[in-house]
Amino acid sequence: MRNRNGFSLIELLLVVAVILIISAIAVPNFLRSRLRANESSAVASIGVINTAAVTYSMTYPDMGFPATLAALGGANPCSASSTQACLVDDLLAQGIKSGYSFVWAGDGAVPSVTYTVSGTPQVVGSSGQRMFCTDQTSVIRYDASGSGCTNASAALD
């Protein structure tokens, strides 16, 4: 009788096959959950921007809404002013967060009375599927294709 000190090739191949099957099931679920988490973060970020824009317009009534998204942020330590209001995280004020790019479009007037904000996935289908947008009404809308969200798009429930 032989003394066995290890695993046979068949046993090792069987273990590798089981690991591959489990990973084939787990990886797509992980990617889908990350996509949903990024979309949830984008909706929350747009809500934060809406709240910050209203706070900004109340704090600086002579300016109305800010001219840029960067005006809502500010690097730490932050001293609030109309050009750096310290109302949102500086990363969000730069327009990038959780796989989404955020773009602010103001009306250019002083005081500003309208704005639009859009959140677009950096890689449609990977970092997010839906594009989100809002305006001074604070109604968050989405476009399922990931591009082309407008005020006529469907509102989130």
Say how many domains are in the chain.
1
Q: Say if 2 falls within a structural domain.
A: no
State residue 17 phi and psi, 5-degree precision. Answer: -65, -40
Task: Band the pLDDT of 3: cuts 50, 70, 90.
Answer: low
The structure's pTM equals 0.83
Q: Say if 107 falls within a structural domain.
A: yes
Q: Say if 3 falls within a structural domain.
A: no
pLDDT digits (tens, 9 = 90+) for 83-124: 999 999 999 999 999 999 999 999 999 999 999 999 999 999
CA distances from 65 to 49, 83, 110, 157 (A): 11, 11, 9, 26
Q: Say if 145 falls within a structural domain.
A: yes
Residues 125, 128, 133, CA angle at the centre, nearest 5°?
125
Q: Say if 4 falls within a structural domain.
A: no
Spell out the alpha helix ranges (H) of the chain. 9-59, 90-93
pLDDT digits (tens, 9 = 90+) for 121-143: 999 989 999 999 999 999 999 99
Contact 43, 133 (CB under 8 A): no
Residue 70's domain comprises 9-155
Using CA atoms, how far apart are residues 22 and 147, in angstroms rounded to an integer?
A: 34
Q: Say if 1 falls within a structural domain.
A: no
Using CA atoms, how far apart are residues 60 and 95, in angstroms rounded to an integer?
A: 22
What is the arithmetic mean of pLDDT over 16-31?
Answer: 90
Closest CA to 132 of 2, 37, 42: 42
Q: Say if 35 falls within a structural domain.
A: yes
